[in-house]
Amino acid sequence: MLQPSFLRQKPTPRQSLVISRLLLLCLLASTGVQAASFVVIADLNGRYGAIGYHPRVTQAISAIIESKPDFVIIAGDMIAAQRKPLLAGPALDAMWAAFDAEVAQPLSKAGIPLVATAGNHDASAYADFASDREAYAKYWLGRPTPSNLLPGSQYPWHYAAGFDSTLVISLYGTAPGALPVEQTSFARAILDGYADNYDRVIVTTHLPIYPIANGRVKGTLSPASLQPIMDSQHVDWYISGHHHAFYPGRVHGNLEGTVYLASPALGGNRRTWLNTGALSPFGFVKVAQNGTISLHSAPDFEREVPTGLPLEIGRLRLAEDLINSD
């Protein structure tokens, strides 16, 4: 019997990846393994050189612990460095000690793993800020090395880690423009070698690929650096900070495409969405096991359905299907 033409069509490589991920998800569900839930925070820092945090940061950490995610992603700007005149070593150490006391240790004591990616105020890639980078490495290498790192990781600069059926790749992207080849080569190697073993794949770095906020249009990575790699391996989520504005979107609304999740700020300031006058809230984002998104905004950080988001920002269209309306 002749089959209809649509049944004889060979799926595209991207469709094949989606199908294989769905099959893996079904297999994992049948064995009791589920995709991880996670929280995203970013831009905790206050003014240049500030030691310590606004009270809403510590309030948010308490709310995150109560929400019991499987892990937390910090998409950069944990401290307030990148200052001129340059900060001395003791001042940088004091900043990281405050981060440890108010953010890292409470999460650790609650048994919640932390995936951190460097921001420009933590470890700027510009040549003048070598001391910031040294302090960043000193702090993170002074902590226990995560046991779930994948081969090829150069922690804490770029690394990959598995959380049950979720793969997270953290890249060092603090300067606008093209990511260095070292970063993109690592991402490609991890995706080629390991992505098919996970049902959810996340890439995180500080700078977004597409602009989200007014005043930050040039503060992005070149799409040509990463998007072809992510498209070829069907990366599910690209998570960033830096723009101090919350937005979950897909390029041209493609439902099979990567979700570009820009984190709201927790620290010193928030920004208006691109080409609007509306301010993004302070807060954090939680992504549930099924991929739905809930916003937890200041001052109470209760779960809420995101409202008032632009339907489109540049090339991105709002991922309305993922907004948690339960």
Beta strands in 219-282 (DSSP E): 237-240, 247-251, 259-262
Say if residues 148 and 159 touch (Cβ distance below 8 Å): no
Question: What is the DSSP pairing of strand 283-287 with strand 303-304?
Answer: unpaired
Residue identified by tokens 């981060």 is 99
pLDDT at 85: 86
Measured between alpha carbons, how far is 215 from 208 in angstroms, rounded to an integer? 14
Q: Where are the domains of the chain?
A: 12-322
Q: What does the block give as tokens for 246?
A: 């919350």
Phi-psi region of 283 (alpha: psi -120 to 50; beta: other; left: phi over 0): left
Amino acid present at 221 = L
**What is the end-to-end Cα distance of the chain in Å, rounded?**
46
Report which of 265, 86, 73 is spatially closest to residue 170, judged by C-alpha positions: 73
Give me the tens of pLDDT residue by residue for the chain, a chain 326 residues long.
444 343 334 444 444 444 444 444 444 444 345 679 999 999 999 999 899 999 999 999 999 999 999 999 999 999 999 988 888 899 999 999 999 999 999 999 999 999 999 999 999 999 999 999 999 999 999 999 999 999 999 999 999 999 989 999 999 999 999 999 999 999 999 999 999 999 999 999 999 999 999 999 999 999 998 989 988 888 999 999 999 999 999 998 888 899 999 999 999 899 999 999 999 999 999 999 999 999 999 999 998 888 889 999 999 999 999 986 55
Radius of gyration of the chain (CA): 19
pLDDT at 232: 86
Amino acid present at 179 = L
Measured between alpha carbons, how far is 80 from 136 in angstroms, rounded to an integer? 12
Peptide bond between residue 176 and the one before it cis (omega within 30 degrees of 0): no
Given the candidates 3.30.365.10, 3.40.50.2300, 3.60.21.10, 3.90.1820.10, the CATH classification of the domain at 12-322 is 3.60.21.10
pLDDT at 19: 42
